């Protein structure tokens, strides 16, 4: 793409393949069982359901794409989370080949490391023309702790961000149709893959504009205006129909509480903690605090900053400075509403996020602002590439042997530290009960509530499992797992979370709008099926309409 010669194309292919192999090592993914195992937790099931729903609905009626089958009878429920349409472009062809959505999930999860790493290599090489420095930057961006911790969050991989930065550089150098269309394509990919990251792109664009534009030499031509108009017209035509369902979330009062945001936000110390010491600072449920790139990356960043300052090139100074500015802004925003040195502080200085939260649409719905640290990671990777390229050229006089030895030593130290990042175990994905084959052939008007109901954060992810099982039938279910849930559903969860079924719970089930109840009695103590049957019969609440194995379906009267 950016390296046109055959040799460089081979290098790019080699980097992609190498990083794909390394992703197996850093994630501990079971190569022989990628079709049946997934990282523990509900998110792989959520992503698999999202892709499956979109592949099901787009050919039938794309205009009702966001009216997903979960959280019935509510509408627009796909907008309760990221739509994942960007990664769907990768998932759909693979699914047509393998017909296994879990295998597809794992393949894209692993490929995201390689795609992001390759993008960083292309960006760094464009800026430095140094292959070794670019490879080190690519390795950092591909396998830094943040990326490994969020391996199952495909929307957080940032795999398209380096390509966006690359063509942002290029378009300021030459506003050609090729650069315009490629920038448009990668902007759309960032938007379609991670709307949360997309919200940060205007900040990036403003920084680039101020760093690259010489106001005394601006020339406005008919051709340049046409390219800009085409860019915004096409972008609007693609994005507005997707943004609209999210704007409707105001009907659900979809605003994250400040306390909720602060509880998941990192502090200054989190940027300084190395993977060597994660086990002393972070539990499995506090991964959102993990934003530090590691001690060796920080040392490289300091070293590179010193080199850049010492050997600065005035022609490139603004282009280099832009990454310092973007990285610093990303850090400040990632702290959340308050900037705190440690979480022991009750408050702190108001950060930029406080302004964005109150005055810029979209930001008030983002819960985990520490995820904006990826822009610091990207900036740090580029700065390290720039600094190392200067060091190799000016201090080592581009001595091949010295450059290679130092680069290998850096990679080994980085790999050693990154290998200490804890990863989630891979667990078998529950097979879909056969009872859902019967559900598939029932009327679309039916609404099913599946019991036991609710999301148990410590033991079971029932709603995520039910959501995943609905891939077989896509009938409407009251249950659902997503980034956000309606308040009434949360209240229903509190009522039904007690496994001892009673009259109050039956009334709540009826008020939910469900027409049928599905009981998975394997999730209950022995004999519970008999107690349920007796209660439903005594109350004349529902009648048994289907039973298979230990799964019962009752129709509410």
Task: Report pLDDT digits (tens) over 221-274.
Answer: 888 899 999 999 999 999 999 999 988 876 666 777 777 778 788 899 999 999
Q: Which segments in the chain show pLDDT lower than 50? A: 1-4, 314, 457-458
Q: Residue 6: what pLDDT?
A: 55
Q: Tell me whether strands 476-477 and 447-451 are parallel, antiparallel or unpaired.
A: parallel
* Exposure letters 506-540 (e unless 16+ CB within 10 A, then b): bebbeebebbbbbbbbeebeeebbeebeebbeeee
Where does residue 373 rank: exposed (0-12), middle (13-18), buried (19+ CB within 10 A)? buried
Assess contact for 299 and 381: CB atoms under 8 A: no
Alpha helices, H only, 144-221: 145-149, 161-173, 177-193, 195-198, 201-212
Q: Residue 2: what pLDDT?
A: 46
**Residue at token pair 């990356």:** 297
Measure Cα distances from 112 to 108, 129, 372 in Å.
Answer: 6, 24, 18
Token couple for 525: 């103590």
Q: DSSP 3-state assignment of 474?
A: coil
- Domain range summary for the chain, segments of one domain joined by +: 6-33+82-418
Please give the Cα distance from 362 to 350 (Å, whole number): 19
Torsion of CA 430, 436, 440, 444, to 10 degrees: -100
- pTM comes to 0.93
**Residue at token pair 């506003």:** 175
**Residue at token pair 């005394």:** 216
Assess contact for 154 and 27: CB atoms under 8 A: no
Q: Residue 357: what pLDDT?
A: 83
- Greatest distance between any 2 Cα atoms in the chain: 88
Assess contact for 521 and 535: CB atoms under 8 A: no
Assess contact for 529 and 499: CB atoms under 8 A: no
Q: Residue 424: what pLDDT?
A: 87
């Amino acid at each position: 793409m950016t390296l046109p010669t055959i040799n460089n194309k081979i290098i790019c292919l080699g980097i992609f393949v190498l990083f794909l192999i390394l992703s197996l090592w850093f994630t501990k993914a079971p190569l022989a069982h990628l079709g049946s195992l997934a990282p523990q937790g509900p998110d792989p099931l959520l992503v698999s359901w999202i892709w499956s729903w979109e592949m099901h609905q787009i050919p039938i009626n794309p205009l009702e794409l966001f009216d997903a089958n979960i959280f019935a009878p509510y509408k627009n429920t796909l907008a309760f989370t990221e739509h994942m349409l960007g990664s769907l472009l990768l998932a759909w062809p693979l699914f047509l080949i393998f017909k296994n959505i879990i295998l597809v999930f794992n393949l894209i999860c692993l490929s995201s490391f390689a795609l992001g790493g390759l993008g960083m290599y292309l960006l760094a090489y464009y800026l430095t023309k140094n292959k070794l420095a670019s490879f080190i930057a690519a390795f950092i961006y591909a396998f830094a702790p943040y990326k490994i911790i969020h391996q199952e969050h495909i929307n957080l991989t940032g795999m398209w961000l380096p390509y966006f930065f690359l063509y942002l550089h290029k378009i300021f150098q030459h506003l050609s149709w090729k650069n315009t269309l490629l920038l448009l394509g990668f902007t759309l990919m960032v938007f379609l893959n991670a709307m949360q990251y997309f919200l940060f792109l205007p900040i990036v664009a403003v920084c680039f504009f101020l760093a690259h534009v010489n106001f005394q030499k601006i020339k406005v031509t008919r051709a340049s205006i046409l390219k800009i108009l085409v860019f915004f017209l096409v972008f609007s035509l693609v994005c507005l129909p997707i943004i609209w369902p999210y704007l409707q979330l105001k009907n659900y009062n979809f605003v994250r509480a400040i306390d909720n945001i602060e509880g998941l936000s990192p502090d200054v110390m989190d940027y300084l903690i190395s993977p060597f010491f994660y086990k002393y600072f972070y539990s499995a449920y506090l991964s959102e605090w993990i934003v530090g790139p590691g001690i060796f990356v920080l040392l490289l960043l300091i070293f590179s900053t010193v080199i850049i300052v010492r050997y600065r090139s005035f022609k490139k100074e603004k282009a280099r400075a832009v990454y310092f500015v973007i990285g610093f802004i990303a850090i400040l925003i990632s702290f959340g509403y308050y900037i705190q040195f440690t979480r022991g502080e009750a408050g702190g200085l108001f950060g930029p996020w406080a302004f964005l939260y109150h005055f810029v649409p979209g930001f008030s719905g983002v819960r985990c602002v520490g995820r904006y640290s990826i822009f610091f990671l990207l900036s740090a990777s580029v700065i390290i590439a720039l600094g190392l390229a200067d060091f190799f050229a000016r201090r080592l006089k581009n001595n091949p042997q010295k450059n290679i030895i130092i680069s290998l030593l850096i990679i080994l130290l980085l790999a050693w530290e990154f290998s200490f990042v804890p990863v989630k175990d891979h667990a078998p994905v529950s097979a879909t009960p056969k009872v859902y084959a019967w559900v598939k052939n029932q009327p679309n008007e039916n609404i099913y509530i599946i019991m036991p109901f609710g999301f148990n954060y410590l033991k079971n992810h029932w709603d995520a499992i039910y959501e995943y099982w609905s891939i077989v039938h896509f009938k409407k279910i009251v249950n659902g797992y997503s980034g956000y849930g309606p308040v009434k559903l949360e209240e229903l969860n509190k009522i039904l979370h007690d496994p001892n079924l009673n009259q109050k719970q039956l009334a709540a089930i009826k008020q939910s709008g469900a027409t049928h109840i599905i009981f998975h009695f394997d999730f209950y103590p022995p004999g519970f099926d008999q107690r349920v049957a007796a209660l439903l019969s005594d109350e004349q609440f529902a009648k048994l309409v289907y039973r298979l194995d230990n799964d019962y379906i009752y129709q509410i009267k």
